[in-house]
Structure 1
């Protein structure tokens, strides 16, 4: 190696391997072949870093996303040029979820552009809409600084995915040599790298409104989780006697069994949470983009409701709701300062409001208790989700799909311990199973339980083999009703009342024993036909030294209650 004032003369692959190690990356999720020299160098220099080769590019992204969210640090995925658009499609999820994923793909060679070389397409523009930064690396000496920028961009402010297109259809630019400065900036190896402190005047203005309100409510989003501010949030809510509703991705902000927890608000919600938010005389949004799903398309609360907002991104403040006060800063820093300045004596003025909140929650539970405890066969999904509440280990990470899976779990499942975590897809069916594999890679010592339906599992069924091959022991619970019955209402409406037998074939499936299929692929497959069999099945799966799929047979004729506003 030749040292210079600007770096070391070395192969690009060596520099990339050193930098990935320096940023604390433990797993890379990819569809080969991409940057093969880099993977060879990783094996030579850092064999503890595991490549996880998947059967599809979207699954690789979802694994990197699950890794990023569970570990609160960047996840890395990669694909050669022919798979780049599949990778871009997968990046929609971490982009919507604000998750720090670093994506690497191959790109075209200058010598063969526009000559119809094998698999040629200009993929770079496709990444513009689903990334915080999208760039191309066409010179080996740019690999280090562009990789540094990727990690910096992914983790700062509101986190999000980034993409680097590395020259060569397989990113073979990493084979070239140059004077490379493989400098690592360790502060960008996790989220958040910076904690901006709020302006005191802004904090006092927000706090004055919050303390003066008679029926305030906090709506906590995923920013609480990224900031690690759950403890500060709960403490402030307790000090001031303010109930807390959450978005689905902010759910780990407060245990569902806490006396101040209102539940998940919005479209995939618990109806009492929506009722509580809509009765509030002040809504305090913290770490949420106030998007359509969290607000049930801006009906919960209605636009015009007195509101304040706290966020790390300036452009988010007031984007969807007119505000009476706004605070820019890291959620933990803001909440800590609010606690220092708060007057707990003002909590006494809200005792009647908290009693009303308790009544709304109790009323919801009384209305739904019969289905949450039902012994009906096939199993009711309400019973499945309610039972999981008491079965989750104290340090479990729960990952939940979109669609009916998200609706069932938002309504009938609760976190019970501060050490539990909850991650949900922002709209991409099939996410949770693959993301659960990535999450287990990030936190191998914690129980990781993914919840999906058979419709979701079918998207990436082949990744059962991936988990087996790489010995990634996540547990997947499948709400298996042999169909995607969230579509029932839409098809019934389209057909003027009740859809035809032919149309049912568009959302009902062949009866497949998914437990047996998983077993044949090398995983532990368990079939559950009775509610009482779920607990021992989950215990067995968590104790197994291999990936597990629990196939729970549920009633296809039961549809999730729709949101109220």
Structure 2
């Protein structure tokens, strides 16, 4: 047997990442400095962020677009911040590999400066969190982290490297040659297991027995690339299609069977139509409280078929669930074959299309509104018109998610929608990561001003590294989602509710210029379209600061009377 010549830890880690397709890593100094230098010699872009959370969000955005792990680093004292940045990736089923340093074992449990236990921090937001005590362990544990992040339900993994700055790993030796590795070649979806034939046949019988069938697709369907099969199934069954926010854009949003996002961040038609179904087919959808409006849409007794790669998700929320365990795309193909060519009553689909059409007609005037301050409805319409055919739209949580997922239309044929799974401020760093993963695609980030304040400093990162995204600020000088309810709660009591959720006003176009970037301030709705087109034509990050009306309410999700 030929003896492999040892290589250093940095050589193994950097060369392995580069050989297997990693184009960018995201980090906060000081960590793995020798590895980062080696990555630079191999052409891997090293993106220094201004906070550990931003580095994690960038890695998350990169992973969601690249379909493979995003890589982020932080030294020991930054581990807590890096862990908090993984919450969104965990909730959104995104594969991120986070690496931190930890002080050597001899310094543990001795009140070491800046050191706390890392394992409890990462346990809730990773599928795997383990220590790497010596460089020789890197090959085995890197493969394990990659497989954990990518297989089953994709989620983050964490490697805690020996040394405050991981210097024990950075100076150690590895007895394995770096290079192309099958484990690191995994991309989403890494495997396409098809559900057992018995499960598929039972699901087909249950579906054919119901007249009013609706499909609700989520992040798992997105990761599987199940969009063509979803549309084929819907057309075969005359079944309306709703999605979670993470499934938005899987099918063309203007398709006759598309009814929008369901749940608590929904346009009114979707919830009403899902509520009227006799049977709900969940496809790669986690049945959590958001997509079901706290398990009221559909009602808990509703019969369901759930197609899911992770068997632990089957029946998690709805008791009358027939489980079909397999990759959504491959399993849908088998289900379509099992269903044959049924003759379906189209009355439910026709009614759904009528409800959606009536709602669209009712919203037309708002989408064309010339009101000032600008209505977010008009901003949605202008983004729909401006987003290129293969563009990426990245939306923050809260009102950013509601507005963009209900009123921005997507073609289902190349455009991608990424949304925050709940972390305010996620969108702008994630948009930079998404752009790194797809440098030839245009990226629009929708952020509220409240969210942007979290990571405003990443404007400097965008300028320094030449990452070109269009940052659209829905600038209403406050937390718009909270403002209406807070005013109601304040009522006639003494005090000023504005102190709790209002801030600014800030002109973010001027702020952009301070950072050395272009900024465009829009106060007249007639100027929105030209501003977006101008920004998209640029090869640098451009801030489009839109002065919007905080008193304009986002669409309110429908609930049945008394629910």
TM-score over 0.5 for the pair: yes
Q: In 1, distance between residues paired with 2:185 and 2:397?
A: 30
Instruction: Confirm or deny that 1:87 pairs with 2:77.
Output: no
2:282 and 2:513 map into 1 onto residues whose CA distance is 46
Counting only pairs closer than 5 Å after superposition, residues 235-250 of structure 1 correspond to structure 2 as 235-250=232-247
Q: What's the CA shift string for 1:104-127, capped at 9, x where partnerless?
A: 011021222233333222222210
In the alignment, what sits opposite 1:502?
496
SS of 2:249's equivalent in the other structure is helix
1:339 and 2:333 are equivalent in the alignment? no
Residue matched to 2:303: 306
Give the match for residue 554 of structure 2: 560
Cα pair 2:264 2:293 within 8 Å, conserved: yes
How many residues are paired up?
A: 557
Structure 2: tracts of 5 or more residues without a match: none
Look up the SS of the partner of 1:326 in the other structure: strand
Following superposition of structure 1 onto structure 2, how do residues 315-464 of structure 1 map, counting pairs within 5 Å?
Answer: 315-347=312-344, 349=345, 351-464=346-459
Identify the residue that residue 275 of structure 2 maps to in structure 1: 278
- Pairwise CA RMSD of aligned residues? 1.6
State the distance in 2 between where 1:390 and 1:120 align.
50
CA offset at residue 500 of structure 1? 5.7
Separation (CA, whole Å) in 1 of partners of 2:404 and 2:372 = 20
Structure 2 residue corresponding to 1:52, chosen from 47, 50, 54: 47
**In 1, are the aligned partners of 2:196 and 2:325 still within 8 Å (CA)?**
yes
**Structure 1 CA distance for aligned equivalents of residues 493 and 73 of structure 2:** 42
SS of match in other structure, 1:346 = coil
Quote the offset at 1:210 in angstroms: 1.7
Q: State the SS of the aligned residue for 1:395.
A: coil
SS of the aligned residue for 1:325 comes to: strand
Question: Offset at 1:187?
Answer: 5.8
Contact persistence 1:221–1:249 (CA under 8 A): yes
The residue aligned with 1:291 is 288
Deviation at 1:511, TM superposition (A): 1.3
CA distance, structure 2, for counterparts of residue 384 and residue 153 of structure 1? 40
Residue by residue over 1:504-548, the C-alpha shift from the partner in whole angstroms, topping out at 9 and shown as x without a partner, is 122111211101111221222111111221111111111111111
Structure 1 residue 4: deviation in Å?
5.9
Decide which of 244, 253, 256 is 2:253's aligned counterpart.
256
Contact 1:72–1:190 (Cα < 8 Å) also in 2: yes
Give how far 1:411 is off. Answer: 2.0
Cross-structure match for 1:479: 474
Whether the 8 Å CA contact 2:194–2:326 is kept in 1: the answer is yes
User: Contact (CA 8 Å) 1:148, 1:185: kept in 2 or not?
Assistant: no
Report the counterpart of residue 137 of structure 2 in structure 1.
142
The reply to whether residue 222 of structure 1 matches residue 219 of structure 2 is yes
**CA deviation map 1:418-439 (0-9, x unaligned):** 1111111111111111100000
**1:524, 1:544 within 8 Å by CA — same for their partners in 2?**
no
Which digits, 9 at most, give the CA deviation of each residue in 1:385-444, with x for residues without a partner? 123222211101111111111111122222134111111111111111110000000011
Could you tell me the TM-score, scaled by structure 2's length?
0.96
Residues of 2 paired with 1:464 and 1:498: CA distance?
A: 41
- Note the C-alpha offset of 1:324: 4.6
Residue of structure 1 in register with 2:153 after alignment: 158
- 1:390/1:498 Cα in 2 relative to 1: closer, same or farther (>3 Å)? farther
Alignment CA distance shift 1:410-1:175 (3 Å) = closer
Secondary structure at the residue paired with 1:249?
helix
Partner SS for 2:5: strand
Contact 2:375 2:548 in 1 (8 A): yes
Report if aligned partners of 2:249, 2:411 keep a CA contact under 8 Å in 1: no
**Partners of 1:461 and 1:448 in 2: how far apart?**
17
Aligned residue in 2 for 1:41: 38
Does structure 2 retain, via aligned residues, the 8 Å contact 1:519–1:525? yes
Q: How far, CA to CA, are the matches of 1:368 and 1:316 in structure 2?
A: 36
CA deviation after TM superposition for structure 1 residue 562, in Å: 3.0
Task: From 511, 520, 537, give the equivalent of 2:505.
Answer: 511
Secondary structure at the aligned position of 2:501 is classed as coil
Give the counterpart of 1:191 among 172, 188, 195: 188
Q: State the secondary structure of the residue aligned to 1:104.
A: strand
Asked whether the equivalents of residues 131 and 162 of structure 1 are also in contact (C-alpha less than 8 Å), the reply is yes
Does the alignment pair 1:10 with 2:10?
Answer: no
